[in-house]
Amino acid sequence: MKGNKTADGMQTEVKLAKSITTIGFFGLGLSAVFGTSWLLTTNSWLARAGGPECAVIAFILCFLVELPMILAYYEAVPMMPLAGGEMSYAYLCFGGFWGMIVGWFGVLVNIILCAWEALALSRLIGNLWPGVTTQGVMYNVLGSNITLPAVVLGLLLICGIGVIAHKGAKISANFGTTITIIVSSIAAVMVIVSFANWNPADISARLAERMADPAVASAGKDVFSGSIGLLAMLPFSVAGWESVAKGAQEASASVSHKKIGLMLVLAVAVATILYILTVLAPTLIVPWTDLIEQDSTGAFLHTAPFAWAMGSIGFPVLGALLIVAACLGVVGVYNAVFFAAIRQLYAMGEIGLVPKVFGRLHPQYKTPTSCILLVSVISAAILFLGQSMFVPLIDVAAVSYIVLWGSTLASVLRARSKYPDLRRPARYPGGKPLMYMGLAIAGVLFLLILIPFPGNPAALPDPVVEYPLLLILLCIGVVLYAVRDKSTPPGTNTKRLFAEIKEQQDMADRVQAEAASFEPTGNAGP
């Protein structure tokens, strides 16, 4: 890693602090996956799916589709416990060019998530204080008013998390874990209330109607088209778990790298269950078609449908509490994805894929200050585009996620032949057949989203906005790559990465050996 210069010009080596615990990794993963989508985008999910039944099917399919790629991280993280995550894997297995492509997509998707969460905060608070989205209008973008209160709230979030990230990874991880516990607890209470107030007769009638005429009960969508249409959107929501990989190099000495992979898998499984419950819950107490009502402009009437549903059955206080929980979820998700973005960018700076300033750490806090500033600035810039970017950001992020997951799976396969002697504390369950199936799934999803052929339910729905947005964000990465640090030969970087891997694995061996040799003395007696 790059060192920092002291006042006398001497070069000192500053390394990432090793402070994240097992619970911290689980908290980072779950807070990144289960944050705010369950409250803000339920109506979008139901509308695109054509009903709650299709939505549940889509979530189950999403987990199954992602599983082959999730399991790739189970092997990759303990095998290559590096801060760069997917970028480092691609760099070692396929070279610097592919490392840059994968790395920037990793930075890109997390910057998109940062911007989305900053936009989501004002949207949520607007349900409690409407003036946030109606007062102090500064200008209009694509029919969306950009208000001063909304911008101020977003900037406060960006600056606040930036300060926390600057203070250290342990603080970020503990902060994310605390928020996850609070948000999950509130969501669980609301789900219980919903199931306690549901009408089985209404649900039975709806299911019977669905079986009699699949299209009538689902706003014109059958089970297949509805489920697949929503599936293309869900990688944005059932994602973020790869953030855990970025923290592998900062694992506490007591944490097994194998456990990091397990926490990643567990976080996705728990988040998927929570998503299914929270998308079903409001449809148990009000007709799902009421949740997707739109105004004359085509915008949804209820920006927080679950909260509105709770209020409609006589629980307005609980609805307000849901919004508060979602606001906390915004903070938790932003914290997790911001952590992933800056760690990815730092790792790219370390090995010379972007300017070397991004590979330097703060001498006191051991955090990448330059990365924190760049990610914060880009997130703030997108914030000024307003709510018109809300759905386009989701769709562009889905493309980036598929690139990350597919590249990690490809790297694990490549590493088995290129580095057969590399230690693998965990092996990919299912073997090569499942791995190749995962690659095929990633490739098909990538093409389905990007190619808008007739009848494709998964294609980008707003190509006029979304293709230019994706192009602009990719161009930023091209510029950074063009002015990258070229002073260090690629072979030197490769050797340094393998040295870091050996250091990490040796540390894990020492901890395990000490634990195995520990024998409690007990009370010997006289």
pLDDT the model gives residue 117: 82
41-45: long-range contacts, CB 8 A cutoff, minimum separation 24: 41/237, 41/394, 42/278, 42/279, 42/282, 42/291, 42/305, 42/306, 43/291, 43/292, 43/300, 43/302, 43/305, 44/233, 44/300, 44/391, 45/230, 45/233, 45/234, 45/279
Could you tell me what percent of the chain has a pLDDT over 90? 8
- Cβ pair 80, 501 in contact under 8 A: yes
Query: Who has greater pLDDT, 283 or 249?
Result: 283
**How many Å apart are CA 456 and CA 332, to the nearest integer?**
34
First-to-last C-alpha distance (Å) of the chain: 56
Q: Is the pLDDT of residue 524 over 50?
A: no
Q: Read off the pLDDT band of 236 (50, 70, 90).
A: low
pLDDT the model gives residue 10: 39
Residue 145 maps to a domain: yes
For the segment 180-194, the average pLDDT, to the nearest whole number, is: 83
For the segment 506-521, the average pLDDT, to the nearest whole number, is: 63
Structure tokens that stand for 382 in this block: 């997108």
The predicted-structure confidence for 447-498, as pLDDT tens digits, reads as follows 888 887 777 766 777 788 888 888 888 888 888 888 887 887 878 888 888 8
**How many Å apart are CA 497 and CA 114, to the nearest integer?**
28
- Cβ pair 278, 191 in contact under 8 A: yes
Helix (H, G, I), strand (E, B) or coil at 336: helix
Residue 521 maps to a domain: no
- Cβ pair 332, 183 in contact under 8 A: yes
Domain range enclosing 413: 18-495
pLDDT the model gives residue 457: 66
Residue 420 maps to a domain: yes
What CATH number corresponds to the domain at position 192? 1.20.1740.10
The predicted-structure confidence for 29-66, as pLDDT tens digits, reads as follows 787 777 677 777 888 888 888 888 888 989 998 888 88
- Cβ pair 157, 334 in contact under 8 A: yes
pLDDT the model gives residue 511: 63
- Cβ pair 83, 340 in contact under 8 A: no
- Cβ pair 363, 146 in contact under 8 A: no
Residue 77 maps to a domain: yes
Q: Is the pLDDT of residue 518 over 70?
A: no
Tokens 């992979």 correspond to 261
Of 110, 105, 165, which Cα lies nearest the Cα of 341?
Answer: 110
Phi/psi region, residue 430 (left: phi>0; alpha: psi -120 to 50; beta: rest), is: left
140 φ, ψ to 5°?
A: -130, 135
pLDDT the model gives residue 53: 84
**How many Å apart are CA 402 and CA 441, to the nearest integer?**
9
pLDDT the model gives residue 419: 92
pLDDT the model gives residue 409: 92
**How many Å apart are CA 51 and CA 283, to the nearest integer?**
9
pLDDT the model gives residue 18: 65
Angle between helices 96-125 and 390-418 (to 10 degrees): 150
pLDDT the model gives residue 408: 92
Residue 506 maps to a domain: no
Q: Please return the burial class of 62, using the count of CB atoms within 10 Å of its CB with bins 0-12, 13-18 and 19+.
A: buried
Residue 42 maps to a domain: yes
- Cβ pair 481, 354 in contact under 8 A: yes
**How many Å apart are CA 274 and CA 280, to the nearest integer?**
10
Cα 518 to Cα 110, 161, 256, 511, 521, distances in angstroms: 42, 40, 17, 11, 9
Residue 136 maps to a domain: yes
**How many Å apart are CA 37 and CA 43, to the nearest integer?**
10
**How many Å apart are CA 437 and CA 450, to the nearest integer?**
20
The predicted-structure confidence for 101-153, as pLDDT tens digits, reads as follows 898 888 888 888 888 888 888 888 887 788 888 888 898 887 778 899 989 99
Q: Is the pTM of this model over 0.85?
A: no
Would you say how long the chain is, in residues? 526
pLDDT the model gives residue 121: 84
Q: Tell me the β-bridge partners of 139.
A: 146
Residue 237 maps to a domain: yes
Q: Is the pLDDT of residue 94 over 90?
A: yes
296 φ, ψ to 5°?
A: -65, -20
Phi/psi region, residue 522 (left: phi>0; alpha: psi -120 to 50; beta: rest), is: left
pLDDT the model gives residue 526: 35
Q: Please return the burial class of 262, using the count of CB atoms within 10 Å of its CB with bins 0-12, 13-18 and 19+.
A: middle
The predicted-structure confidence for 362-418, as pLDDT tens digits, reads as follows 888 778 889 999 899 988 888 888 877 767 877 777 788 888 889 999 999 999 999
Of 214, 205, 157, 474, which Cα lies nearest the Cα of 330?
Answer: 157
**Based on the structure, what is the number of domains in the chain?**
1
- Cβ pair 111, 444 in contact under 8 A: no
